[in-house]
Amino acid sequence: MPLPHLIGYKHSDATRRKIGLANKGHNVSREARLKISNANRKATLLRWEDPIYRQHMSDVHKGHVHSEEQKRKQGLSNIGKHSNPETGRKISQTLKKMKHGVGKRLSDETKRKIGEAQKKYKKTELHRLHLSQSHKGKKLSQSHRQACSDAQKRMGTIPPSRRGCIPWNYRGATPLAEAIRKTFEYRQWRSDVFKRDGFRCQRCGINGKIEAHHIKPFVQILIENRIMSIAQAIDCAELWDINNGVTVCSPCHKSIPRDTANK
Residue 247 DSSP one-character state: E
**Per-residue pLDDT tens digits for 8-35:** 567 788 888 888 888 887 788 888 888 8
**Per-residue pLDDT tens digits for 182-237:** 899 999 999 999 999 999 998 888 887 889 999 988 888 888 888 888 888 899 99
Q: How far apart are CA 176 and CA 229, in angstroms?
A: 7
Residue 126 exposure: Cα atoms within 13 Å on the Cβ side: 2
Global confidence as pTM: 0.37
**Per-residue pLDDT tens digits for 45-76:** 888 788 888 888 888 888 788 888 888 888 88
Nearest CA among 194, 228, 196, 172 for reference residue 236: 228
Q: How far apart are CA 143 and CA 253, in angstroms?
A: 45
Q: How confident is the model at residue 1 (pLDDT cuts 50, 70, 90)?
A: very low
Q: How far apart are CA 216 and CA 260, in angstroms?
A: 7
| Coil, helix or strand at residue 210 | strand
| Helix H or strand E segment including 181 | helix 175-181
Asked if 3 and 47 touch (Cβ cutoff 8 Å), the reply is yes
Q: How confident is the model at residue 260 (pLDDT cuts 50, 70, 90)?
A: very low
**Per-residue pLDDT tens digits for 122-160:** 778 888 888 888 888 888 888 888 888 787 766 655 555
Asked if 222 and 173 touch (Cβ cutoff 8 Å), the reply is no
- pLDDT for 193 equals 92
